[in-house]
């Protein structure tokens, strides 16, 4: 989804989104408008494989932080639900769409 050479813009957008989602300042919406996650991800073929890969990376990142069990669970639950909602390809089709 993102060019591997430079993830800085993606990191900034994700950071601002998560800050806003968890009750912080609404900087994300002020800069980019309503999050509309499904709409923003629609141009990309996201199937179960892509969702699982993304969730695996997010899970590893969360596990590396040494968070309290309650915070860890809240983050993992959110990412599980949100990543499933981004799937926009029938099983087996997303890998072929590239």
Q: What's residue 94's pLDDT?
A: 59
CB 47 within 8 Å of CB 2: no
Number of H helices, E strands in the chain: 5, 0
Q: What's residue 7's pLDDT?
A: 87
Question: Hunting for tokens 């923003």 — which residue is that?
Answer: 40
Question: What is the per-residue pLDDT across 5-24, written as a single tens digit (0 to 9) for each?
Answer: 788 988 999 999 999 999 99
Q: What's residue 95's pLDDT?
A: 57
Cα dihedral across residues 52, 54, 57, 60: positive or negative: negative
CB 63 within 8 Å of CB 20: no
Question: Where does the pLDDT of residue 97 fall: very low under 50, low under 70, confident under 90, or very high at 90 and above?
Answer: low
Q: What's residue 88's pLDDT?
A: 96
């Amino acid at each position: 989804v993102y060019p591997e050479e430079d993830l800085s813009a993606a990191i900034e957008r994700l950071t601002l989104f998560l800050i806003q989602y968890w009750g912080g300042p609404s900087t994300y919406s002020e800069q980019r408008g309503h999050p509309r996650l499904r709409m923003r991800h629609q141009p990309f073929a996201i199937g179960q494989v892509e969702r699982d890969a993304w969730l695996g990376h997010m899970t590893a990142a969360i596990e590396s932080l040494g968070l309290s069990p309650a915070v860890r669970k809240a983050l993992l639950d959110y990412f599980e639900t949100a990543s499933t909602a981004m799937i926009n390809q029938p099983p087996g089709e997303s890998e072929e769409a590239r």
